[in-house]
Amino acid sequence: MRRDKEDRATDAPRFIFGPVVSGRLGLSLGLDLLGARICSFDCLYCEAGPTEALTVARKPYVPAGKILAELARWKAAGHGRPDAVTLGGLGEPTLNSDCAEIIAGAKELFPGVPVAVLTNSSLLPDPDVRAALGAADIVLPSMDTLVAAEYARLNRPHAAVDLGGLRRGLLDFRAGYGGALCLEVLLADGINDSEENLEALRDYCRELSPDRVDVVTLSRPGAHPGATAVLKPVLARFRQALGPAAASPAPAPEPATEGHGPTALAARRNDDLGPSLLASVKRRPQTARGLAAALGHSLDAVQAALDALERDGAVRQRVEGREIFYSG
């Protein structure tokens, strides 16, 4: 019995999580390029918890070979086709110096599936990073504020990440990039919802001309209690101000009925549910209902697996409003 458990733990994905239902990307299969809380920022609102290694050093934190081998096993196991493969995870993915190889490998394994990269934009002043991201189909950079004091308070960057350089780096990337650029601005109440930031972001969006701007606020528990959501009118004002490109976040897509989504995924057995759930909630707090929809299992099965993980001390609950979120 003990041996069986150990064997299954060895097979469990370590760097792949989800798929999760993403409002912007659909059913998104996540790749964690860091394997630990390594980031160039330590944002107050981070869903993955406080940054443990605040750095700008680029290294193969998780080598491309390991991630791509895991991705190939995931594909061979007969999982349905995701809507996107997304590089992100427990920190800033462009810190992984194998980023370009991972993008190329994901495209080869899943032809026709867009490869997306979530980035905090901090490394874009580096031409090597811009070149690596140039091969992605969708890049989703974040830029929460252009006011230095707000940036220091909300994003809590590594000392080497200068706001002016970051601002310029994203413009330089945009100038040479042929894919879709979707800017994200996250607003925290009383921190970056100022008039000064709104004006600065409006000018910047005109210059950057992203394909889309998503203005969002906190919807899940963040790393620090200091950050809370803005009210709806504030969100609406920023969305309106950030120009015609500032679309509201797209609603989560309806589950697909062929090829991927719950119908196909439900055919999978439940015996790998615990490790999959754990891998997913370690990266992002989620509700049992959200996990059930994303992973294609019944709510009862997901709830039972979460209860077991909680008894083992592997996950914990946090109540936010009327929802219960689980995190690893």
Which residues sit at the interface with ligand SF4, rule CB under 6 A? 39, 41-43, 46, 48, 51, 91-92, 120
Which of 55/303 has CB closer to ligand SF4?
55
Q: How near is the Cβ of 48 to ligand SF4 at its closest, in Å? A: 5
Q: From the CB of 244, what's the least distance to ligand SF4, in Å? A: 27
CB of 37 to ligand SF4, least distance (A): 8
Cβ(139)–Cβ(177) below 8 Å:
yes
What's the closest the beta carbon of residue 216 comes to ligand SF4, in angstroms? 12
Q: Which is nearer to ligand SF4, 50 or 134 (CB)?
A: 50
CB of 77 to ligand SF4, least distance (A): 28
Output 48 or 71, the one with its CB closest to ligand SF4. Answer: 48
The minimum distance between CB 91 and ligand SF4, in angstroms, equals 5
Q: Is 39 or 305 the residue whose CB approaches ligand SF4 more closely?
A: 39
Q: Cis peptide before 19, with omega less than 30 degrees from 0? A: yes
Q: Which is nearer to ligand SF4, 143 or 302 (CB)?
A: 143
Beta carbon nearer to ligand SF4, 25 or 306: 25
* Cβ closest to ligand SF4, residue 41 vs residue 173: 41
Instruction: Tell me the closest approach of the beta carbon of residue 68 to ligand SF4, in angstroms.
Output: 22
Residue with tokens 């997913």: 280
